[in-house]
Amino acid sequence: MLPGGPSLEPTPKANAGEHVRAFVAVDAAEELRAPIEALQDRLRSAGADVKWVGSHQFHITLKFLGDVAVGDVAAVVDAVKGAVASVPSFQMCLHGVGAFPSARQPRAVWIGATDGADAMAELAKAVDDALSPLGFERERRPFRSHLTLGRVRSDRGIVSLARRLNEEQHTAIGTMRVQQVVVMRSVLTPKGPIYTRLGLAPLKETRNR
């Protein structure tokens, strides 16, 4: 993958026993990437030991698929396309900074969604329902719309990071229109994951929604 963002790669050719690591997501809008990076910079100044997500990788995960047989990729993409084709596109606002499991003990730092959060949950459910017949286990936990900013690697600087998270808890990044879902391949490397798009699934276009 060239720097700057995930490309759309051809469906991999099936080899016996070969798998790809994949997930289904909504990419962050291009115009929101700079303000998200600015937020990361403010949090980074806390000096905590965090592996920050690169700006070209900002996304909201709808469903993590794990290892998918190469021969099943086309069926997965088709199922996702069918699931979201009748779902109207919608506006979503990225707003509210927090961490899992808590801001005082952060392990994964994220920014959440306010407007559009319910629509994102419905979108995730549609994807979940469509992939269940293909053998993917249904999600057991309630969907919570969030964009991961970074993952904490140790306790170094964690008190300072918790303080910054509290200061940024009401930060608003901006609004984007959710118009498509992407099936993404993730290749893990020592420098971090490399993402490539396996397929795009457009939502139903609406006017002034």
56 in catalytic set? no
**Cα–Cα distance measured from residue 128 to residue 169, given in angstroms and rounded to the nearest whole number:** 30
**Cα–Cα distance measured from residue 36 to residue 82, given in angstroms and rounded to the nearest whole number:** 31
Q: Which of 19, 56, 146, 170 is catalytic?
A: 146
146 in catalytic set? yes
Q: Give one DSSP letter per residue of 160-209, joined into a string.
A: HHHHHHHHTTT-EEEEEEE-EEEEEEEE--TT--EEEEEEEEEPBP-S--
Contacts of 189 (CB under 8 A, 6+ apart): none
Q: Which of 19, 56, 59, 95 is catalytic?
A: 59
CB 49 within 8 A of CB 154: yes
Q: Is 208 exposed, middle or buried (0-12, 13-18, 19+ CB in 10 A)?
A: exposed
**Cα–Cα distance measured from residue 169 to residue 102, given in angstroms and rounded to the nearest whole number:** 12
| Residues annotated as catalytic (active site), given as ranges | 59, 146
